[in-house]
Amino acid sequence: MATQSLYRRYRPRRFAELKGQEHVVRALREAVRTGREGQAYLFSGPRGTGKTTTARILAKVLNCTAPVDGEPCCECDSCLSVERGTSYDVHELDAASNNSVEDVRSLIDKVSLATPGRHKVYILDEVHMLGPGASAALLKVLEEPPPHVVFVLATTDPQRLKDTIRSRTQHLQFHLLPSDTLAEHLRWVADDAGIDIDSSVIDAALEQGGGSARDSLSALELLAATGGDVSDHIDLDEFVSAFVDTDTGRALAAVAHAVSMGHDPRTLTEHLLRHLRNLFLSLMAPELVQVRHDRLDELASLARALGAAGLVRSMERLGQALVEMRFAPDPRIMLEISLVQLTRDDTGDDTGALLARLERLERAVRDGSQRAPEPAAPVDPGTGKAVLGGRARRSAEVKATESAPTPATAAESTVPSSPTEVVPETPSAPVDLRRVIEVWESSVRAGLKPLVRALFSAGEFVGFDSPATARFRAPNPAHGARCSAHLAEVATALGRALGSEVTIVLDDTPETPATTATNTADSVEEPIDPTELVDVPPSDVPTPVDSITKAFPGAQVVERND
Ligand SMILES: [Zn+2]
């Protein structure tokens, strides 16, 4: 049993099926039709634009027993063997992994051998990766190729190829696909494969694919595998909006949400960088942005909101984070630190930060609103997203406690402050439950990190025992387990505000004692009554094949081993 990726399944088999490379197709078909094919071609262009696919179609038509109008028949034995990769007439070498003199020499040794077909086609992928010795060996054979041999050199980087090699080839350049062509193609593939998705999924695949047919199809496949639910894909605009609003909580909540959907921090950072680049281009060179036209307007207005300086600074900072991630035990922390810096002017005194700040002030003056940067909005623990209207509530809380000590910020609270710096609010007040709740509501809660604040906002303090132990009750055991990881941190903040050390323990919740819970499961499981369990009828049990075809819509069983 095997599933075939969309990219392989919808790989063009004829020149006419190649998308967006009309100039290449015209040149090659014409050469084949008139029997004037070259002996060495250089195909250059970005990855995923169809270079090796085109090389294989060329190999196919050159050996086809019944070519039609410069196209292979795709039915004769020769065509089929090329498609299966078993043809003796076609030799492929990936120079990225086989770049020694020996590799090229053993390939070239075959050049002079007799061949069953009319043409022997050598496809050298990533040819710029060949070492100096291998390049010299290749040049030698290109200088005097045997008459029945055609070389196709493919590269993403033609500048790195020796001039002596380049000058012996016919150079054909492959382009990234225009977004409308690619959108049309993705829609066609989805329909043909029976994948039921709406246009927002196509847009998302298009943006992730960056103009490469292969990458766009892979993205489409991945999105389709998650049921085509776009809520599962990362909302990159959310990050940019957080930068615009200097809303740290919102940015961190967006990370938490993406990670909870299964995206790893490194890939998330790469996606975000690519998105910022698109935003930047939407201002500077809109024709280069790989999105549909109506989406382009949205991008441009978001880009204007952040400003060119802000965009550049964000790209620089996240680019740096990607480098730092290579050495970091936890890449998520590197991403979060960058986001904190990008959403808080006061954590950076570099020119970029100052420029971004200036630009934002200028814009505020222009808009007639001089909105001061606001504190972060709280996060809903259920969804990991910022709470709507939470910012207004939060501002009110801050105003109400202006006399209280400055709440620790997300960035500062990661650095434990020395106890000698603590200025207690009311040093001599006796501590009891009422006092704990009062201090908690008035100053401590607002100063916690967004995630911690969100977690603890869902519960309440229910008791105070001697000596100095506050009892906190979470809404359920699973939530309690998540809170337990932050008890010490919250106790420190509470103790600082109370002016004396306190310990926080989790109070028992109705079902199970949360204090003994050690797992940090994110989901809350319904209690199950074992007496109510019944067997599922055998016909209702999904087979592994059912599960896989459900996960990969449009997949078909091609071989069954039972
Ligand atoms: Zn054929």
* pLDDT tens-place string over residues 468-505: 889 988 877 777 887 888 888 888 888 888 888 888 98
User: Measured between alpha carbons, how far is 406 from 398 in angstroms, rounded to an integer?
Assistant: 9
Place of tokens 């590799």: 103
For 367-386, what is each residue's pLDDT tens digit? 665 444 444 445 555 554 54
Ligand 1 centroid from CA 75, angstroms: 5
Report the alpha-carbon distance of residue 166 to residue 164 in Å, rounded: 6
DSSP state of 376: P
b/e map of 138-172 (b: 16 or more CB within 10 Å)? beebbeebeebbbbbbbbbebeebeeebbebbeeb
Q: Are residues 15 and 138 in the same domain?
A: yes
Which pLDDT belongs to residue 174?
93
Measured CA distances, 492 to 33, 320, 445 (Å): 80, 33, 12
Q: Which amino acid is at 168?
A: R
CA of 69 to the centre of ligand 1 (A): 12
267 occurs within a structural domain: yes
Q: Which H or E run includes 233?
A: none
Mean pLDDT is highest, among 266-270, 290-294, 478-482, for: 266-270
Neighbours of 341 (CB within 10 A): 21
369 C-alpha to center of ligand 1: Å?
69
CA 68 to ligand 1 center in whole angstroms? 9
- φ/ψ of residue 177, rounded to 5: -80, 140
**pTM of the predicted model as reported, rounded to 2 decimal places:** 0.51
Question: Is residue 206 domain-resident?
Answer: no
Kindly give the distance from the C-alpha atom of residue 205 to the centroid of ligand 1, in angstroms, as a whole number.
Answer: 34
From the CA of 198, how far away is ligand 1's center (Å)?
38
Q: Specify whether 18 is located in the same domain as 165.
A: yes
Separation of 63 CA from ligand 1 center, angstroms? 7
Regarding predicted confidence, which is higher, 260 or 277? 277
Query: Span 12-35, mean pLDDT?
Result: 93
| Domain annotation covers residue 484 | yes
Helix axes 308-325, 293-306, angle to 10 degrees: 90
The enclosing domain of 119 has a CATH number of 3.40.50.300
Backbone angles phi, psi at 42, to 5 degrees: -115, 115
What range does the domain containing 148 cover? 6-173
The residues, any chain, with a CB within 8 Å of residue 264's CB and separated by 6 or more, are 331
Q: Is 525 a domain residue? A: no
Q: Over the stretch 511-537, which tens digit does the pLDDT of each residue have?
A: 544 444 344 444 444 445 555 555 555
Last residue of a domain, one of 173, 192, 225: 173
* Separation of CA 440 and ligand 1 centre (Å): 78
Residue finishing a domain among 123, 140, 173: 173
Amino acid at 356: A
Over residues 294-315, mean pLDDT: 89
Instruction: Answer whether residue 1 is part of any domain.
Output: no
Residue 209 placed within a domain: no
Q: How far is the CA of 235 from the centre of ligand 1 (A)?
A: 47
Structural domain total, the chain: 3
Give the C-alpha separation, 251 to 432, whole Å. 36
- β-pair partners for 450: none
276 and 352 fall within a common domain: yes
pLDDT tens digits, 37-49: 999 999 999 888 8
361 lies in the same domain as 421 = no
Distance CA 115, CA 99 (A): 25
Percentage, residues of the chain above pLDDT 70: 73
User: What pLDDT band is residue 329 in, cutting at 50, 70 and 90?
Assistant: confident
* Percent of the chain as helix, strand, coil, to the nearest 5: 55, 10, 40
Q: Which of 173, 189, 212 is the last residue of a domain?
A: 173
Q: What is the pLDDT of residue 523?
A: 41
357-374 mean pLDDT: 62
Residues 163 and 40 in one domain: yes
Same domain, 359 and 241: yes
Radius of gyration in angstroms for the set of CA atoms belonging to the chain, rounded to a whole number: 31
Distance CA 164, CA 169 (A): 9
Q: Say which range, 215-229, 405-419, 457-471, has the weakest mean pLDDT.
A: 405-419
Q: How confident is the model at residue 286 (pLDDT cuts 50, 70, 90)?
A: confident
> Is the same domain home to 351 and 425?
no
Whether residues 18 and 123 fall in one domain? yes
Question: Is residue 214 assigned to a domain?
Answer: no
What is the pLDDT at residue 346? 56
Cis peptide, bond prior to residue 467, ω within 30 of zero: yes
**What CATH number corresponds to the domain at position 439?**
3.30.300.180
Do 18 and 82 reside in the same domain of the chain?
A: yes
Q: Is residue 521 part of a domain?
A: no
Calculate the average pLDDT of the chain.
Answer: 78
User: Within this chain, do residues 356 and 238 fall inside the same structural domain, yes or no?
Assistant: yes
Longest dimension (CA), the chain: 99
Structure tokens at 61: 């038509």
CA of 117 to the centre of ligand 1 (A): 11
Q: Tell me, what's the pLDDT at 34?
A: 92
Which pLDDT score, from 0 to 100, does residue 252 have? 93
Q: What is the pLDDT of residue 349?
A: 56
What band does 14 get if pLDDT is binned at 50, 70 and 90? very high
More confident residue, 415 or 254: 254
The pLDDT assigned to 359 comes to 73
Looking at the fold, whether 152 and 40 belong to one and the same domain comes out as yes
C-alpha of residue 13 to centroid of ligand 1, in Å:
11
CA 28–ligand 1 middle distance (angstroms): 16
pLDDT band at residue 550 under the 50/70/90 scheme: low
424 shares a domain with 309:
no
